[in-house]
Amino acid sequence: MKYNKLFVLLGLAIAISCTDLNINPLSEGSSESWYSSEAEIEMSVMELYRNVFWPQDDDEWTDDYTNRDLSTPVTGATINGEWGTVTSLWTNSYKPIVRANTLLENMDKALNVGISQSAVDQYSAEAYFIRAAKYADLISHFGEVPYVSGTISMDEAFSIGRMGKSELIANVYQDFDAAIAKLPVSYAASAPKRVTKGAAMALKARFALYMGDWAVAAQMAKSCMDLGVYKLYPDFAEYFLPSVKNAEESVFLLPRSISLGVQREVRGFLPRNAGGWAQHDPSWDLLCAFLCTDGKPIDESPLFDPGEPFKNRDPRCTATITAFGSEHMGFIYDPSPYAENVLNTSTGNMQINNDSRVNAQYASFNGLVWKKGIDASWTDNGFNIDRDKIIIRFADVLLMYAEAKTELDQIDQSVLDAINQVRARAYGVSPEETDKYPAVTETGQSILRKIIRIERRMELAWEGLRYMDLIRWKIAEKALNRGSYGMLDVAELKTNVYDKGLWFFAETPQIDEDGLADFAPLYQAGYAKLLTNRLFDASRQYLWPIPSKEIIINSNIQQNPGY
């Protein structure tokens, strides 16, 4: 018997999910009785879009993020095959893969019950897309993995080994191509949000970029661009707000809904004056990564003032991180040790400032809080929001095209145009208005590579993409083997920094060739506090460990080196 819903890690979960494999849960149909109508097939397809099947890498694993003085298994170099995130990614990738396989194997039934060929083509294309996207996630994190493209027996499930990487990549490309060939460019406005031709092109480009296959990445990104159906949202800051739904910039997204319980809990990201915890915050590293308005890094630009770190910065800086003295969530945000009271802009009255550690011990440990996509609606509905879950957007496609073409050393005007579209939008001007923003004109490969990497960091911060950028650029061992810094405790802050007129940074941090800031001099001079030491073991951490359960039950699956 073949099953429509086979809940597997690959092997072990077959045993633990169904004690008796001859029993189908009442809420599920076996593949022998299912797929007998278009409604059943449609349900099976839409099941592949479940939120849990589309996890995103956590920015907490990167140098863009702080969680007070805590580290993660990634930033503490303690990652192992028992970590729940490792098991979850493995499980929630193979589950939709198995379901996509079963769906594809039953498409003959669809034709037999009178479903049109065009509908069958689309359902098949969606299954191919999901299978490709999920294998892409597995390969990007684990390297070589077992490959299953159809229903397998119990014995096979317990014995299948890891497929070679080149063959895996070819299979993923083939599935993406099958999806691209049959998927529509768009759907009717009233149709459920689902994958399109452009989404398949974009995710194939992302996978190729991660694999260092620059030619395919450039080709797919350009194909997506040439569809002419995507464009940058006019206002960078507004684009990420919960009120903006299904914007033309969103190439592939999963909609959320408060009413349907598909939402995200956000209290830990909000300032304390607004009722949040200010626990999960942007890092000093990220703050220093944003260029100044002259297009130069902070240690090269005469416009940068360490006492006013948000002044004269790329607009995405203050759209991503809340500027000191600005209104945010109904209050003027001021983490200064002397700001004991603060203006409540809703009432017009001064009140106790819980965003300063002089009043609240657990206010932001580095003085920074997120701004990107945050508005007053984040405090509604029990600190739950239904902002679109953006899997990939057009700005990323443009920057992937620019990066791939640069790595191929095929730098032409189209590369500069792609970067400048993204940068000009940040300044709220058209790319042609080069006197109103620092347009990119450099054509040297090494300098343009650096520009693109910094542009990605500024544009895509807090979108789950920094981790894989660190991994694929092979700079995680540098970025994640240095301290995460924050403000001194209140008494020291007053005497060592504020009373000396050195608020916020006492001096300008230096930025290296990879765009990484060095805070060691600030710390050594007594102007900063080490929150935690990040650690990254380059001998093993560029790949994740295979889940330990898989190694135990299947002697043909070898563990990644160092685990």
pLDDT of residue 192: 72
In a domain, 375, yes or no: no
CA R_g for the chain: 25
pLDDT of residue 13: 38
In a domain, 193, yes or no: no
Residue 505 and residue 400 share a domain: no
Q: What are the beta bridge partners of residue 486? A: 529
Residue 142 and residue 20 share a domain: yes
pLDDT of residue 262: 67
Domain that holds residue 163: 12-183+544-553
Using the structure block, give the residue that is written with the tokens 């499930």: 157
Q: Kindly compute the dihedral angle of the four CA atoms of residues 264, 269, 272, 273, in this order, to the nearest 10 degrees.
A: -70
Residue 175 and residue 66 share a domain: yes
Residue 231 and residue 121 share a domain: no
Residue 105 and residue 244 share a domain: no
Residue 346 Cα to chain centre, angstroms: 33
Using the structure block, give the residue that is written with the tokens 């949202």: 233
Please answer whether residues 461 and 281 qualify as being in contact, where contact means their C-beta atoms are separated by less than 8 angstroms.
Answer: no
What values do phi and psi take at 267, rounded to 5?
Answer: -60, -35
pTM beyond 0.85, yes or no: yes
Choose one of 473, 495, 513: the last residue of a domain: 473
Residue 165 and residue 24 share a domain: yes
In a domain, 199, yes or no: no
In a domain, 415, yes or no: yes
In a domain, 319, yes or no: no
Residue 491 and residue 459 share a domain: no
Residue 233 and residue 99 share a domain: no
CATH number at residue 19: 1.25.40.890
CATH number at residue 466: 1.25.40.900
In a domain, 119, yes or no: yes
In a domain, 62, yes or no: yes
Residue 78 and residue 221 share a domain: no
Instruction: Please tell me the total count of domains within the chain.
Output: 3
In a domain, 2, yes or no: no
Q: What is the three-class DSSP state of 530? A: strand
Residue 176 and residue 47 share a domain: yes
pLDDT tens, residue order, the chain (563 aa): 333 333 344 433 333 333 232 223 333 445 556 788 889 999 999 999 999 999 999 999 999 999 999 999 999 999 999 999 999 999 999 999 999 999 999 998 888 888 999 999 999 999 999 999 999 999 999 999 999 999 888 888 889 999 999 999 999 999 999 999 999 999 988 677 899 999 999 999 999 999 999 999 999 999 999 999 999 999 999 999 999 999 999 999 999 888 777 678 899 999 999 999 999 999 999 999 999 999 999 999 999 999 999 999 999 999 999 999 999 999 999 999 999 999 999 999 999 999 999 999 999 999 999 999 999 999 988 899 999 999 999 999 999 999 999 999 999 999 999 999 999 999 999 999 999 999 999 999 999 999 999 999 999 999 999 999 999 999 999 999 999 999 999 999 999 999 999 999 999 999 999 999 999 999 999 999 999 999 999 999 999 999 999 999 999 999 999 99
Choose one of 422, 446, 473: the last residue of a domain: 473
Residues ≥6 apart with Cβ < 8 Å to 464: 56, 57, 58, 59
Residue 167 and residue 60 share a domain: yes
Please answer whether residues 248 and 233 qualify as being in contact, where contact means their C-beta atoms are separated by less than 8 angstroms.
Answer: yes
Closest CA to 225 of 245, 254, 205, 246: 205
Residue 171 and residue 220 share a domain: no
**Sign of CA pseudo-dihedral 372, 373, 377, 383:** negative
